[in-house]
Amino acid sequence: MASPVHFTTFVLFHVLIAVVVAIGPTLGTGSTTLATTSSLEMEAEALLHTGWWHWDVNHTQEHCEWQGISCNEAGSVTRICVL
């Protein structure tokens, strides 16, 4: 059986990959405002698709307010705590 540390590392790695894949297409776009809004929406979608945040999350709430999610002032995810 895998240790909790390996499992947590595995999960965080996949969450990070999901976020990078989600925001990748917006990098290099001409409109900073559009890219930022799209990036933030894509970050929230990527978090939802991980399965860690689902029915217990109020979808009208900003993803930065979800339990275990920390964001910078721009609203981009900077830390994920799944413990």
> What pLDDT tens digit does each residue of the chain (83 aa) get?
556 667 777 777 777 777 777 766 555 554 454 455 677 788 777 877 777 765 555 555 777 888 888 888 888 888 888 77
User: Six-digit token pair at 14?
Assistant: 């996949």
Cβ atoms of 18 and 46 closer than 8 Å: yes
Q: Residues near 23 by Cβ (< 8 Å), separated by ≥ 6?
A: 39, 42, 43, 46
Q: What's this model's pTM, rounded to 2 decimal places?
A: 0.45
Q: Give the number of other Cβ atoms within 10 Å of residue 23's Cβ.
A: 19
Cβ atoms of 1 and 72 closer than 8 Å: no
Q: Residues near 25 by Cβ (< 8 Å), separated by ≥ 6?
A: none
- C-alpha gyration radius of the chain: 13
